[in-house]
Amino acid sequence: MPTSALLSLADVRDAAARISGICLCTPVVPVVMPDGTVPLRVKAECLQPTGAFKLRGATNAIALLEPERRVRGVVTHSSGNHAQAVAYAAARAGIAATIVIPDNAPAVKVEATARWGAQIVRVPPAERETAAEAIAEETGATVVPPYDHPDVIAGQGTVGIEIAEQVPDLDQVLVPVSGGGLAAGTALAIKALRPQVRVVAVEPELAGDLAEGWRDGQRRVWAASQTARTIADGLRTTSVGLLNWAHLRAHVDDVVTVTEEEILSATATLVRGSRLVAEPSGAVASAALLSGRVDPSPGTVAVLSGGNVDPALLARLVAP
Protein backbone atom coordinates (compact mmCIF):
# COMPACT_ATOMS: atom_id res chain seq x y z
CA MET A 1 0.00 0.00 0.00
CA PRO A 2 1.42 3.46 -0.88
CA THR A 3 2.05 5.30 2.36
CA SER A 4 0.53 8.55 1.12
CA ALA A 5 -2.96 7.13 0.50
CA LEU A 6 -5.70 7.26 3.10
CA LEU A 7 -6.59 3.94 4.64
CA SER A 8 -10.01 2.37 4.22
CA LEU A 9 -12.22 0.53 6.70
CA ALA A 10 -11.19 -2.71 4.97
CA ASP A 11 -7.58 -2.10 6.05
CA VAL A 12 -8.70 -1.76 9.66
CA ARG A 13 -10.91 -4.83 9.44
CA ASP A 14 -7.96 -6.83 8.12
CA ALA A 15 -5.88 -5.58 11.04
CA ALA A 16 -8.62 -6.63 13.48
CA ALA A 17 -8.43 -10.19 12.16
CA ARG A 18 -4.62 -10.21 12.51
CA ILE A 19 -4.45 -8.95 16.10
CA SER A 20 -7.29 -11.08 17.46
CA GLY A 21 -5.95 -13.54 20.04
CA ILE A 22 -2.97 -11.34 20.91
CA CYS A 23 -4.64 -8.04 21.78
CA LEU A 24 -7.62 -7.93 24.14
CA CYS A 25 -11.01 -6.72 22.92
CA THR A 26 -11.17 -4.25 25.80
CA PRO A 27 -14.46 -3.41 27.53
CA VAL A 28 -16.29 -0.08 27.50
CA VAL A 29 -16.73 0.81 31.19
CA PRO A 30 -19.05 3.43 32.73
CA VAL A 31 -17.46 6.25 34.73
CA VAL A 32 -19.75 6.66 37.74
CA MET A 33 -19.60 9.97 39.58
CA PRO A 34 -20.23 10.43 43.32
CA ASP A 35 -23.78 11.59 42.54
CA GLY A 36 -24.52 8.45 40.52
CA THR A 37 -24.44 10.09 37.09
CA VAL A 38 -22.42 8.55 34.24
CA PRO A 39 -21.09 11.44 32.13
CA LEU A 40 -19.04 9.14 29.91
CA ARG A 41 -17.83 5.62 29.32
CA VAL A 42 -14.22 4.67 28.65
CA LYS A 43 -12.66 2.19 26.25
CA ALA A 44 -10.24 0.49 28.66
CA GLU A 45 -7.02 0.06 26.67
CA CYS A 46 -5.10 0.03 29.95
CA LEU A 47 -6.17 -3.62 30.21
CA GLN A 48 -4.02 -4.74 27.25
CA PRO A 49 -1.24 -7.12 28.38
CA THR A 50 1.32 -4.31 27.95
CA GLY A 51 -1.00 -1.73 29.51
CA ALA A 52 -1.68 0.40 26.41
CA PHE A 53 -3.30 0.49 22.94
CA LYS A 54 0.15 0.58 21.27
CA LEU A 55 0.09 -3.23 21.18
CA ARG A 56 -2.53 -3.15 18.42
CA GLY A 57 -0.43 -1.26 15.88
CA ALA A 58 2.78 -3.12 16.69
CA THR A 59 1.04 -6.49 16.41
CA ASN A 60 -0.48 -5.59 13.04
CA ALA A 61 2.79 -4.25 11.64
CA ILE A 62 4.72 -7.33 12.76
CA ALA A 63 2.06 -9.73 11.45
CA LEU A 64 2.46 -8.15 8.02
CA LEU A 65 6.22 -8.74 7.77
CA GLU A 66 7.32 -10.95 4.87
CA PRO A 67 9.00 -14.22 5.92
CA GLU A 68 12.42 -13.01 4.74
CA ARG A 69 12.08 -9.94 6.99
CA ARG A 70 10.81 -11.88 9.99
CA VAL A 71 14.05 -13.83 10.31
CA ARG A 72 15.94 -10.54 10.61
CA GLY A 73 13.77 -9.28 13.43
CA VAL A 74 12.47 -5.80 14.28
CA VAL A 75 13.90 -2.69 15.88
CA THR A 76 12.42 0.49 17.33
CA HIS A 77 13.32 3.36 19.62
CA SER A 78 11.10 4.28 22.55
CA SER A 79 11.17 4.19 26.32
CA GLY A 80 7.43 4.03 26.68
CA ASN A 81 4.38 2.06 25.66
CA HIS A 82 5.53 1.53 22.08
CA ALA A 83 8.71 -0.18 23.32
CA GLN A 84 6.73 -2.66 25.39
CA ALA A 85 4.30 -3.17 22.52
CA VAL A 86 6.98 -4.04 19.96
CA ALA A 87 8.81 -6.30 22.44
CA TYR A 88 5.61 -8.17 23.34
CA ALA A 89 4.28 -8.47 19.79
CA ALA A 90 7.65 -9.71 18.53
CA ALA A 91 7.83 -12.29 21.31
CA ARG A 92 4.35 -13.55 20.49
CA ALA A 93 5.29 -13.75 16.80
CA GLY A 94 8.48 -15.60 17.67
CA ILE A 95 10.85 -13.04 16.18
CA ALA A 96 13.77 -11.07 17.61
CA ALA A 97 13.31 -7.47 18.77
CA THR A 98 15.88 -4.80 19.56
CA ILE A 99 14.67 -1.74 21.45
CA VAL A 100 16.77 1.42 21.62
CA ILE A 101 16.09 3.22 24.91
CA PRO A 102 17.57 6.59 25.88
CA ASP A 103 20.00 6.17 28.76
CA ASN A 104 18.09 8.71 30.88
CA ALA A 105 14.95 6.55 30.93
CA PRO A 106 14.05 5.19 34.38
CA ALA A 107 15.10 1.62 35.16
CA VAL A 108 11.49 0.57 35.66
CA LYS A 109 10.70 1.31 32.01
CA VAL A 110 13.75 -0.62 30.83
CA GLU A 111 12.72 -3.63 32.92
CA ALA A 112 9.14 -3.47 31.65
CA THR A 113 10.45 -3.85 28.11
CA ALA A 114 13.24 -6.33 28.85
CA ARG A 115 10.82 -8.76 30.50
CA TRP A 116 9.39 -9.65 27.09
CA GLY A 117 12.77 -10.90 25.96
CA ALA A 118 13.79 -7.98 23.74
CA GLN A 119 17.41 -6.92 23.40
CA ILE A 120 17.84 -3.47 24.94
CA VAL A 121 20.35 -0.96 23.57
CA ARG A 122 20.87 2.19 25.65
CA VAL A 123 22.15 5.37 23.99
CA PRO A 124 22.19 9.12 24.74
CA PRO A 125 18.69 10.58 24.07
CA ALA A 126 19.76 12.55 21.01
CA GLU A 127 21.11 9.43 19.32
CA ARG A 128 18.16 7.13 19.66
CA GLU A 129 16.70 7.57 16.20
CA THR A 130 20.04 7.24 14.42
CA ALA A 131 20.97 4.28 16.62
CA ALA A 132 17.79 2.44 15.64
CA GLU A 133 18.41 3.18 11.98
CA ALA A 134 22.00 2.00 12.23
CA ILE A 135 20.87 -1.27 13.79
CA ALA A 136 18.32 -1.73 11.00
CA GLU A 137 21.00 -1.07 8.41
CA GLU A 138 23.52 -3.46 9.95
CA THR A 139 21.22 -6.34 10.81
CA GLY A 140 18.45 -6.04 8.24
CA ALA A 141 15.90 -5.68 11.05
CA THR A 142 12.69 -3.85 10.13
CA VAL A 143 11.95 -0.58 11.92
CA VAL A 144 8.47 -0.57 13.51
CA PRO A 145 7.56 3.11 13.66
CA PRO A 146 5.44 4.36 16.57
CA TYR A 147 2.70 6.13 14.57
CA ASP A 148 3.50 7.39 11.07
CA HIS A 149 2.85 4.19 9.12
CA PRO A 150 -0.27 2.72 7.51
CA ASP A 151 0.03 -0.66 9.24
CA VAL A 152 0.32 1.02 12.64
CA ILE A 153 -2.63 3.34 11.97
CA ALA A 154 -4.72 0.39 10.78
CA GLY A 155 -3.87 -1.55 13.95
CA GLN A 156 -4.79 1.33 16.27
CA GLY A 157 -7.99 1.81 14.27
CA THR A 158 -9.31 -1.48 15.60
CA VAL A 159 -10.17 0.50 18.74
CA GLY A 160 -12.72 2.39 16.63
CA ILE A 161 -14.28 -0.76 15.16
CA GLU A 162 -14.71 -2.23 18.63
CA ILE A 163 -16.28 0.95 20.06
CA ALA A 164 -18.74 1.13 17.16
CA GLU A 165 -19.76 -2.48 17.79
CA GLN A 166 -19.89 -2.22 21.59
CA VAL A 167 -21.86 1.01 22.03
CA PRO A 168 -25.22 1.14 20.21
CA ASP A 169 -26.07 4.63 21.50
CA LEU A 170 -22.66 6.11 20.60
CA ASP A 171 -22.73 9.79 19.63
CA GLN A 172 -19.29 11.18 20.55
CA VAL A 173 -15.77 9.69 20.66
CA LEU A 174 -12.88 11.41 22.45
CA VAL A 175 -9.40 10.22 21.59
CA PRO A 176 -5.98 11.43 22.75
CA VAL A 177 -3.51 12.58 20.12
CA SER A 178 0.27 12.79 20.07
CA GLY A 179 1.85 11.33 16.93
CA GLY A 180 -1.68 10.61 15.81
CA GLY A 181 -1.76 6.85 15.15
CA LEU A 182 -4.60 6.11 17.55
CA ALA A 183 -6.58 9.24 16.66
CA ALA A 184 -6.21 8.71 12.90
CA GLY A 185 -7.18 5.05 12.93
CA THR A 186 -10.01 5.44 15.42
CA ALA A 187 -11.52 8.43 13.59
CA LEU A 188 -11.34 6.60 10.27
CA ALA A 189 -13.14 3.54 11.63
CA ILE A 190 -15.80 5.51 13.53
CA LYS A 191 -16.64 7.74 10.57
CA ALA A 192 -16.85 4.73 8.23
CA LEU A 193 -19.15 2.77 10.53
CA ARG A 194 -21.12 5.57 12.25
CA PRO A 195 -20.82 8.78 10.19
CA GLN A 196 -23.10 10.74 12.57
CA VAL A 197 -20.80 10.24 15.54
CA ARG A 198 -18.68 13.26 16.47
CA VAL A 199 -14.93 12.54 16.86
CA VAL A 200 -12.82 14.93 18.94
CA ALA A 201 -9.03 14.65 19.34
CA VAL A 202 -7.64 15.81 22.70
CA GLU A 203 -4.16 17.08 23.56
CA PRO A 204 -2.50 18.43 26.69
CA GLU A 205 -2.40 22.23 26.41
CA LEU A 206 1.37 22.01 27.04
CA ALA A 207 1.79 19.77 23.98
CA GLY A 208 -0.88 21.40 21.85
CA ASP A 209 0.84 21.40 18.47
CA LEU A 210 -2.13 19.90 16.65
CA ALA A 211 -4.69 22.21 18.25
CA GLU A 212 -2.59 25.29 17.46
CA GLY A 213 -2.77 24.85 13.71
CA TRP A 214 -6.06 22.96 13.42
CA ARG A 215 -8.38 25.88 12.63
CA ASP A 216 -6.22 27.27 9.82
CA GLY A 217 -5.29 23.84 8.45
CA GLN A 218 -1.59 24.04 9.36
CA ARG A 219 0.36 21.10 10.76
CA ARG A 220 2.62 22.58 13.44
CA VAL A 221 5.86 21.26 14.90
CA TRP A 222 6.69 22.23 18.47
CA ALA A 223 10.04 22.06 20.19
CA ALA A 224 10.73 18.99 22.33
CA SER A 225 11.46 21.35 25.21
CA GLN A 226 7.86 22.62 24.95
CA THR A 227 6.05 19.28 24.78
CA ALA A 228 8.28 17.86 27.54
CA ARG A 229 6.46 20.14 30.01
CA THR A 230 3.31 18.00 30.21
CA ILE A 231 2.97 15.24 32.78
CA ALA A 232 1.28 13.19 30.03
CA ASP A 233 4.57 11.57 29.03
CA GLY A 234 2.98 9.45 26.32
CA LEU A 235 1.84 12.58 24.46
CA ARG A 236 5.08 14.54 24.10
CA THR A 237 5.58 13.97 20.38
CA THR A 238 6.36 17.33 18.81
CA SER A 239 4.00 16.96 15.85
CA VAL A 240 1.58 14.50 14.32
CA GLY A 241 2.95 12.37 11.47
CA LEU A 242 2.28 13.40 7.89
CA LEU A 243 0.10 10.41 7.10
CA ASN A 244 -1.63 10.87 10.46
CA TRP A 245 -2.29 14.54 9.65
CA ALA A 246 -4.01 13.58 6.41
CA HIS A 247 -6.28 11.13 8.22
CA LEU A 248 -7.06 13.57 11.03
CA ARG A 249 -8.03 16.31 8.55
CA ALA A 250 -10.31 13.85 6.76
CA HIS A 251 -12.07 12.34 9.76
CA VAL A 252 -11.76 14.42 12.96
CA ASP A 253 -14.42 17.04 13.80
CA ASP A 254 -12.48 19.10 16.32
CA VAL A 255 -9.33 19.28 18.45
CA VAL A 256 -9.36 20.52 22.05
CA THR A 257 -6.73 20.84 24.78
CA VAL A 258 -6.79 20.18 28.53
CA THR A 259 -4.70 21.55 31.39
CA GLU A 260 -2.33 19.59 33.60
CA GLU A 261 -4.71 19.94 36.53
CA GLU A 262 -7.60 18.60 34.47
CA ILE A 263 -5.48 15.60 33.42
CA LEU A 264 -4.57 14.70 36.99
CA SER A 265 -8.13 15.18 38.20
CA ALA A 266 -9.43 12.89 35.46
CA THR A 267 -6.84 10.23 36.36
CA ALA A 268 -8.18 10.18 39.92
CA THR A 269 -11.80 10.16 38.74
CA LEU A 270 -11.17 7.08 36.58
CA VAL A 271 -9.77 5.13 39.54
CA ARG A 272 -12.71 6.04 41.77
CA GLY A 273 -15.47 5.92 39.19
CA SER A 274 -14.38 2.94 37.08
CA ARG A 275 -11.81 0.98 39.14
CA LEU A 276 -9.38 1.41 36.23
CA VAL A 277 -5.77 2.55 36.55
CA ALA A 278 -4.92 5.22 33.97
CA GLU A 279 -1.63 6.96 33.32
CA PRO A 280 -1.99 10.74 32.82
CA SER A 281 -1.75 10.36 29.01
CA GLY A 282 -4.50 7.76 29.25
CA ALA A 283 -6.83 10.14 31.09
CA VAL A 284 -6.44 13.09 28.68
CA ALA A 285 -9.47 12.25 26.52
CA SER A 286 -11.71 11.74 29.56
CA ALA A 287 -10.43 15.03 30.99
CA ALA A 288 -11.87 16.91 28.03
CA LEU A 289 -15.39 15.89 28.97
CA LEU A 290 -14.99 15.95 32.76
CA SER A 291 -13.64 19.51 32.61
CA GLY A 292 -16.37 20.76 30.29
CA ARG A 293 -14.06 21.45 27.33
CA VAL A 294 -16.28 19.36 25.09
CA ASP A 295 -20.07 19.38 25.33
CA PRO A 296 -21.60 16.58 27.37
CA SER A 297 -23.57 14.04 25.43
CA PRO A 298 -25.08 10.79 26.77
CA GLY A 299 -23.36 8.58 24.19
CA THR A 300 -19.80 9.78 24.85
CA VAL A 301 -16.94 7.27 24.89
CA ALA A 302 -13.36 8.38 25.67
CA VAL A 303 -10.39 6.18 24.85
CA LEU A 304 -8.48 5.43 28.07
CA SER A 305 -5.34 4.76 26.10
CA GLY A 306 -2.95 3.42 28.75
CA GLY A 307 -2.36 2.61 32.41
CA ASN A 308 1.41 2.51 32.94
CA VAL A 309 1.45 5.14 35.65
CA ASP A 310 4.28 5.99 38.03
CA PRO A 311 3.38 4.27 41.35
CA ALA A 312 4.24 7.33 43.46
CA LEU A 313 1.97 9.54 41.37
CA LEU A 314 -0.85 7.00 41.54
CA ALA A 315 -0.53 6.76 45.32
CA ARG A 316 -0.74 10.54 45.58
CA LEU A 317 -3.77 10.78 43.29
CA VAL A 318 -5.84 8.09 44.99
CA ALA A 319 -5.16 9.19 48.56
CA PRO A 320 -8.28 10.53 50.31
CB of 81 to its own copies, least distance (A): 12
User: Mask: binding to its own copies, 9-38, rule CB under 8 A, as x and -?
Assistant: ---------------xxxx-xx-x-xxx-x
In this structure, is the dihedral angle defined by the CA atoms of residues 154, 155, 159 and 164, taken in order, positive or negative?
A: positive
Q: How far apart are CA 57 and CA 149, in angstroms?
A: 9
CB of 213 to its own copies, least distance (A): 34
CB of 161 to its own copies, least distance (A): 17
User: Is 307 an interacting residue with respect to its own copies (CB under 8 A)?
Assistant: yes
What's 221's DSSP letter?
-
E strand or H helix that includes residue 155: helix 150-156
User: Mask: binding to its own copies, 132-161, rule CB under 8 A, as x and -?
Assistant: ------------------------------
CA angle 12, 53, 112 (to 5 degrees): 140
54 as an active site residue: the answer is: yes
According to CB under 8 A, which one of 6, 13, 49, 297 is a site residue for its own copies? 49
State which amino acid sits at residue 293. R
User: Is 229 an interacting residue with respect to its own copies (CB under 8 A)?
Assistant: no
Q: Are 168 and 263 in contact (CB under 8 A)?
A: no
User: Mask: binding to its own copies, 93-132, rule CB under 8 A, as x and -?
Assistant: ------------------x---xxx---------------
Q: Which of 196, 187, 197, 241 is nearest to 219 (CA)?
A: 241
Of 78, 79, 286, 305, catalytic: 79
Q: How far apart are CA 290 and CA 309, in angstroms?
A: 20
User: Is 314 an interacting residue with respect to its own copies (CB under 8 A)?
Assistant: yes
What is the total residue count of the chain?
A: 320
Q: Are 271 and 29 in contact (CB under 8 A)?
A: no
Q: Which residues are catalytic?
A: 54, 79
Binding residues for its own copies, per CB under 8 A?
24-27, 29-30, 32, 34-36, 38, 44, 46-47, 49-51, 111, 115-117, 271-272, 274-278, 307, 311-312, 314-316, 318-320
